[in-house]
């Protein structure tokens, strides 16, 4: 029997291409939806989905019950779960389900947000730009005006948070207003072995069997919050080819960058990040071998590194694919040709691509020095650097800090307030590796290296700084924040002294970067965006900016490994993957395909045919983790938690043939809650079942 060609296989299977676009709710492709899927959401539907969508620190989520229950990913809530774990129990490892609402655990210093209002202020911002202004002056003037508008709106309602939002690389400016929720409590989360089944090995792959979900509840005035809008749990059977929608907060994409910017990412910035992560992971792995506590503490750090490394390695692979670069070059060439044919556009935009290219040449010279003037992997040094920068900049009048807005100062201060105490052993290990990298890259005689090490070995310098600082105390950090620049300048704490030195050395580099790189790229990216608007209209979507977006597509297979990927996985497949690796005993030493004993005991009661994960053709990236996946009725059918390795190139260049997202099926969540996790009361709330 002859094998059919892949093309024939695709045609016979009727494979759908992923639907490109992370659309803002004010500019949805409703005509495209109607023509391709015969469905158009009305305004009531859209408002309900928007107001049920929740912004998490580092991810997304949604209200899923009338009593403030919020769904997200386990890996988005994992840091919070770690913080609320009692000393004698690891809730990340063991899982958690509250016995009742009274036993839900409050998460300290944790805030969720819901987008309530948006305002387009582009005309108000652009009016400040004068024709004879230099790029830096224009950039500063626009930032100042945007901050003024945001500050006025923020002063009108203390219960709201207002963010300035730049879309289309400066083609549009918006103010987004969020309702804040600061009383958030843990309700349910599976064991890590179930949530992260397959670990970093399976990350960004498919088929998958990850029960990557967590449920939290929002409270207001010490009572469970009753949202005006929530997304009900589906009772229907999700099928292959069915249209699904994602409402979430994708972090960042770079599809509107110029060819020169993408080549810079490919040849410089991504390799630099990968180099740093490789060194950090190697150091942490050595530390994890020292004792049981070290292994536990290292687990989360290694997971974070692996997750980021695999993602950017996929991005790099995509940027190294000749067809992708050819596509970008062709689109840029076509746009430049249209600009050149229009005298007005040519006068304003004709030189913008070369200006960006020249700015990148400057950035190449600054990349390594600026990178070394950070926390070097240490959470405490990074926070101390932020404190020193915040203290210095906040002490200056606005006209003396033109590149620094009040909003950015407040954001930095809020981050410092949320800073948690860290394990000194792990932090020292990470700093030692970061200092060694600085020596290897810049040389031991470089002024930055001398500042960082003070003539000591990396190990001794890291040890002296972190074992003798008081900065790992919440009270000490609070004193410095309240004392501001006076307290920071007067402090003799070794870590604060180091942070002041790093901050002073970073300022001239930062100034050069702002003036010769950031301002130039910002100004000319905006000019290019304006040219696109003039030629194409607002028919495209803006790059992701950690703001609420709408994306859609069908549950769909895709070609990989010479075959087609199954749309759904099941509990059957989970057991097969587990047994195929020899079970817990054979897989004990660092294995990731293990299952908790409770699961092994209770799986005989589970309907093994229940769908577990599914793959679908929606356009998502990092930040969409935890996003609700909903059907056209507005019901939750799953929760997004990953995308495939082939799709990581989509951060820069979109390919609908292979770009896929991966979700936990809603049916797997309820099956696990009821039959494994002792969480029937939570499942009943999701399903709207009352006694």
313 plus 432 within the same structural domain: yes
Query: Among all chains, which residue has been given the structure tokens 């291409």?
Result: 17
Q: In this model, does residue 586 exceed pLDDT 50?
A: yes
- At 2 the pLDDT is 36
- pLDDT tier, 1 (very low <50, low <70, confident <90, very high otherwise): very low
Asked whether residue 478 is domain-assigned, the answer is: yes
Which stretches within 155-269 are classed as H helix?
A: 192-195, 199-202, 259-264
Asked whether residue 452 is domain-assigned, the answer is: yes
564 plus 520 within the same structural domain: no
The whole domain housing 169 covers 116-156+163-175
- DSSP code string of 257-300: S-HHHHHHIIIIIHHHHHHHHHHHHHHHHHHHTS-HHHHHHHHH
231 plus 356 within the same structural domain: no
Q: At 540, phi and psi to the nearest 5?
A: -110, 170
CA dist 192 → 90, 303, 501, 576, 593 (Å) = 10, 12, 41, 19, 11
CA dist 263 → 82, 304, 320, 358, 513 (Å) = 39, 26, 9, 13, 19
- At 537 the pLDDT is 84
- Residue 246's Cβ-side half-sphere holds a number of Cα atoms within 13 Å equal to 38
Asked whether residue 318 is domain-assigned, the answer is: yes
- pLDDT tier, 15 (very low <50, low <70, confident <90, very high otherwise): low
- DSSP code string of 76-101: HHHHHHHHH--TT--HHHH-EE-SSG
- pLDDT tier, 14 (very low <50, low <70, confident <90, very high otherwise): low
What lies within 8 Å, CB to CB, of 552 at 6+ separation is 19, 33, 37, 243, 244, 245, 246, 618
Asked whether residue 1 is domain-assigned, the answer is: no
- At 357 the pLDDT is 98
Check the CA dihedral 488-489-493-496 and report its sign.
positive
296 plus 354 within the same structural domain: yes
275 plus 223 within the same structural domain: no
107 plus 141 within the same structural domain: no
Take residue 324 and report the two structure tokens written for it: 């992708």
Nearest 10 degrees: Cα torsion 614, 616, 620, 625? -10
User: Using an 8 Å Cβ cutoff, are 682 and 65 in contact?
Assistant: no
| Nearest-angstrom CA–CA distance, 629 and 635 | 8
168 plus 201 within the same structural domain: no
Q: Model confidence over 249-264: pLDDT tens digits?
A: 999 999 999 999 999 9
Once rounded to an integer, what is the mean pLDDT over residues 651-680?
Answer: 96
Q: In this model, does residue 6 exceed pLDDT 70?
A: no
User: Using an 8 Å Cβ cutoff, are 681 and 687 in contact?
Assistant: no
Last residue of a domain, one of 535, 562, 589: 535
From 113, 111, 110, 125, select the one nearest 165 (Cα to Cα). 125
Q: Model confidence over 406-441: pLDDT tens digits?
A: 878 888 888 898 888 999 999 999 999 999 999 999
The percent of residues above 70 in pLDDT, for the chain, comes to 97
The region, left, alpha or beta by phi > 0 then psi within -120 to 50, assigned to residue 577 is: alpha
Asked whether residue 411 is domain-assigned, the answer is: yes
Length of the chain: 691
SS3 content of the chain, % helix, strand, coil (to 5): 50, 15, 35
554 plus 483 within the same structural domain: no
H or E, element range at 498: helix 494-513
3-state secondary structure of 606: coil
Q: Model confidence over 233-287: pLDDT tens digits?
A: 999 999 999 999 999 999 999 999 999 999 999 999 999 999 999 999 999 999 9
558 plus 660 within the same structural domain: yes
Specify the range with the lowest mean pLDDT, choosing from 2-6, 213-217, 344-348, 458-462.
Answer: 2-6
Q: Model confidence over 296-327: pLDDT tens digits?
A: 888 878 888 988 899 999 999 999 999 999 99
- At 590 the pLDDT is 61
From 357, 364, 362, 349, select the one nearest 524 (Cα to Cα). 349
- At 429 the pLDDT is 97
H or E, element range at 497: helix 494-513
| Nearest-angstrom CA–CA distance, 558 and 644 | 10
Structural domain total, the chain? 3
| Nearest-angstrom CA–CA distance, 501 and 178 | 37
User: Using an 8 Å Cβ cutoff, are 636 and 629 in contact?
Assistant: yes
Q: In this model, does residue 12 exceed pLDDT 50?
A: no
User: Using an 8 Å Cβ cutoff, are 448 and 140 in contact?
Assistant: no
Once rounded to an integer, what is the mean pLDDT over residues 196-213?
Answer: 94
Take residue 426 and report the two structure tokens written for it: 């792990």
481 plus 591 within the same structural domain: no
CATH code for position 240? 2.40.10.120
552 plus 520 within the same structural domain: no
Nearest 10 degrees: Cα torsion 571, 575, 577, 582? 170
Last residue of a domain, one of 535, 560, 583: 535
- At 691 the pLDDT is 66
How far does CA 287 lie from the centroid of its chain? 27
DSSP E strands in 483-598: the ranges are 549-554, 559-560, 563-564, 568-570
Last residue of a domain, one of 476, 504, 535: 535
Which stretches within 341-473 are classed as H helix?
A: 343-349, 352-372, 379-394, 406-418, 424-442, 447-453, 458-467
H or E, element range at 615: strand 611-616
Take residue 446 and report the two structure tokens written for it: 């470089």
375 plus 428 within the same structural domain: yes
């Amino acid at each position: 029997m002859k094998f059919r060609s892949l093309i024939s296989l695709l045609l016979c299977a009727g494979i759908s291409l992923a639907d490109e676009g992370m659309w803002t709710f004010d500019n949805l492709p409703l005509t495209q939806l109607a023509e391709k899927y015969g469905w158009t959401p009305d305004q009531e539907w859209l408002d309900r989905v928007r107001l049920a969508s929740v912004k998490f620190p580092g991810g997304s989520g949604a209200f899923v019950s009338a009593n403030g229950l919020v769904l997200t990913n386990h890996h988005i809530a994992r840091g919070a779960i770690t913080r609320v774990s009692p000393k004698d129990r690891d809730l990340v490892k063991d899982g958690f389900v509250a016995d009742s609402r009274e036993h839900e655990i409050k998460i300290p210093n944790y805030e969720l947000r819901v987008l309530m209002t948006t305002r387009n202020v582009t005309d108000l911002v652009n009016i400040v730009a004068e024709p004879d202004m230099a790029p830096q002056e224009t950039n500063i003037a626009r930032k100042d005006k945007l901050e003024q508008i945001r500050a006025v709106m923020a002063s009108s309602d203390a219960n709201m948070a207002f963010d300035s939002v730049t879309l289309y690389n400066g083609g549009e400016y918006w103010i987004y207003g969020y309702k804040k929720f600061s009383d958030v409590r843990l309700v349910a989360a599976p064991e890590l072995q179930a949530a992260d089944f397959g670990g970093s090995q399976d990350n960004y792959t498919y088929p998958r069997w990850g029960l990557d979900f967590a449920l939290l509840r929002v409270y207001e005035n010490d009572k469970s919050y009753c949202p005006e809008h929530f997304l009900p749990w589906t009772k229907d059977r999700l099928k292959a080819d069915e249209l699904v929608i994602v409402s979430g907060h994708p972090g960042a994409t770079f599809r509107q960058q110029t060819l020169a910017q993408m080549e810079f990412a490919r040849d410089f910035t991504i390799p630099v990040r990968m180099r740093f992560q490789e060194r950090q992971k190697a150091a942490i792995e050595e530390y994890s071998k020292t004792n049981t506590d070290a292994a536990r503490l290292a687990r989360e750090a290694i997971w974070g590194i692996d997750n980021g490394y695999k993602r950017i390695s996929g991005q790099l692979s995509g940027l190294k694919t000749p067809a992708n670069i050819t596509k970008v070059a062709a689109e840029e060439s076509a746009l430049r040709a249209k600009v050149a044919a229009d005298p007005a556009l040519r006068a304003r935009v004709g030189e913008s691509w070369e200006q960006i290219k020249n700015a990148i040449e400057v950035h190449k010279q600054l990349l390594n020095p600026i990178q070394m003037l950070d926390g070097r992997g240490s959470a405490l040094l990074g926070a101390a650097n932020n404190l020193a920068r915040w203290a210095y900049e906040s002490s200056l009048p606005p006209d003396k800090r033109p590149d620094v807005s009040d909003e950015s100062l407040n954001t930095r201060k809020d981050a410092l307030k949320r800073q948690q105490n860290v394990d000194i052993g792990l932090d020292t290990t990470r700093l030692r590796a970061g200092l060694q990298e600085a020596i290897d890259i810049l040389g031991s005689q470089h002024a930055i290296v001398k500042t960082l090490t003070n003539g000591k070995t990396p190990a001794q310098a890291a040890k002296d700084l972190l074992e003798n600082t008081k900065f790992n105390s919440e009270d000490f950090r609070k004193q410095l924040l309240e004392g501001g620049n006076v307290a920071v300048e007067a402090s003799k704490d070794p870590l604060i002294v180091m942070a002041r030195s790093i901050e002073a050395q970073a300022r001239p580099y930062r100034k050069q970067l702002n003036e010769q790189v950031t301002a130039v790229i910002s100004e000319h990216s905006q000019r290019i965006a304006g040219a696109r608007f003039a030629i194409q209209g607002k028919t495209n979507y803006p790059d992701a900016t950690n703001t609420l977006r709408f994306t859609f597509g069908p549950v769909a297979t895709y070609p990989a490994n010479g075959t087609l990927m199954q749309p759904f996985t099941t509990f059957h497949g989970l057991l097969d993957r587990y047994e195929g690796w020899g079970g817990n005993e054979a897989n004990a030493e660092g294995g990731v395909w293990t299952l908790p004993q409770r699961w092994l005991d209770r799986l005989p009661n589970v309907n093994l045919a229940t769908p577990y994960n599914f793959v679908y053709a929606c356009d998502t990236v990092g930040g969409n983790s935890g996003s609700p996946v909903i059907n056209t009725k507005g019901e939750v059918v799953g929760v997004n938690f990953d995308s495939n390795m082939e799709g990581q190139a989509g951060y820069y260049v979109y390919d609908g043939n292979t770009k896929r997202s991966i979700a936990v099926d809603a049916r797997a969540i309820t099956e696990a809650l009821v039959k494994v996790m002792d969480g029937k009361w939570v499942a009943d709330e999701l399903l709207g079942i009352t006694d």
